[in-house]
Structure 1
């Protein structure tokens, strides 16, 4: 089975407020990935004030090892409003990227992002930061777009959001998750028992392979 980690930040951010927007080097990660049997990895940028520039950084990393990496285009729903189509078009057509990444920390996901994902037939990895109610809207409004909700809905020990996302995974076939940062093994087991591995930790990419979180 091909194992693909679908959640790996890479490159340098420019915020300098914490690791998440400062630097995401790959050397240590690649060592851990090899030990875990991960053969391919989806890369997207660290938090950045200019995601067009940050996506170019990630594109350079992907070009260096195209057999090892996939790229997702990071976009900001508010700051990049009106140019998401252009940004994602560049990422897909010039960089060969295969998905979109956005984060509630930046701004709530927009219809613009979802429409662009539909147009390019791309999955969207959207970190809802515990606001799992939006998953209902995504599942209903965009049944033909695959959404990956990372961290089982909320990072670390937010078991209420994580338990709620499991219900949504059961009901919406286009909603997927990854398990990065989830520390409650009982929650992970519940997700597998109720949903199975097809939706609880993977998503089809359109390239005939499977994405699975580390």
Structure 2
């Protein structure tokens, strides 16, 4: 089974760019089917109220529960004081299996991590290049699994991506995904140094082509077992289904 660990969906209301506008799945799903992607993890686009956005994602997941997993998007600063309640709703009412947060909203907080710990969820936190946070997360929350996507920097910050590889090697609960990683040799080095069990396949759909992102994993030419870990096995293990 091929699982895309990283796909935005549903309404955005900022209208400053695709990232906070409506994220429709039509083209993405057509491309994903053609590429052989079986399931996708959905979370909201940037939004002014993630409680509203998460419910919209929940409707998408509920309409195709064998196709989608859901992650609850939270804003560490704006949602302060209600994050546990938001995550509880996402898990108990909508069946979500993880938490999403982004540095462009706010730096991750202890409240986010405590909610993840309370429900046994992985956290997909985009540090936007501030990868030193991995050291703090690993030490203070060793029982919570963190996925720092884009090898730590969607902006192609070579130094940040190189530094994240060291964190992947040293910390058992720090992971990454392949979404949008343009420096192929760094992606290869992450797998070689940290192991295939520390990298997940992601596309950053619907804005990046899932078939193109999947081909990067194929081009690593890994042993079959290692490729299967990246393409779905690692994700299922992190959510307790592997």
Question: 1:110 matched to which residue of 2?
Answer: 109
CA shift, 1:105, in A, is 0.3
Determine if the alignment matches structure 1 residue 205 to structure 2 residue 204: no
Counterpart residue number, 2:3: 4
Q: TM-score, normalised by structure 2?
A: 0.84
* Secondary structure of the structure 1 residue equivalent to 2:5: strand
1:150 matched to 2:134? The reply is: no
Displacement, 1:36? 2.4
Separation of aligned partners in 2, 1:37 and 1:195: 26
CA distance in 1, matches of 2:239, 2:24: 28
1:28 to partner: Cα distance:
1.0
SS in 2 for 1:11: coil
Structure 1 gaps, min length 5? 210-214
Give the conservation status (yes or no) of the 8 Å contact 2:42–2:71.
Answer: yes
TM (normalized to structure 1)?
Answer: 0.94
Q: In 1, distance between residues paired with 2:99 and 2:239? A: 14
**Equivalent residue runs for 1:1-214 within 5 Å:** 2-201=1-200, 202-203=234-235, 204-209=237-242
Contact residue 113 and residue 144 of structure 2 kept, 8 A: yes
Q: Distance in 1 between matches of 2:65 and 2:192?
A: 35
Contact in 2 for aligned 1:98/1:205 (Cα 8 Å): no
Q: Which moved more, 1:84-93 or 1:154-163?
A: 154-163
Q: Deviations over 1:154-185 (max 9, x none)?
A: 01421111111000000011011101010111
Higher relative contact order (CA 8 A, sep 6+): 2
2:15–2:21 contact (8 Å) kept in structure 1 = yes
Larger % of helix: which?
Answer: 2
Question: Partners of 2:14 and 2:149 in 1: how far apart?
Answer: 22
The answer to whether the 8 Å contact 1:71/1:96 transfers is: yes
CA deviation after TM superposition for structure 1 residue 35, in Å: 2.4
Determine if contact 1:100/1:124 at 8 Å carries over to the other structure: yes
Match of 2:228 in 1: none
Unaligned runs of 5+ in 2: 201-233
Q: Which moved more, 1:148-157 or 1:80-89?
A: 148-157
RMSD: 1.0
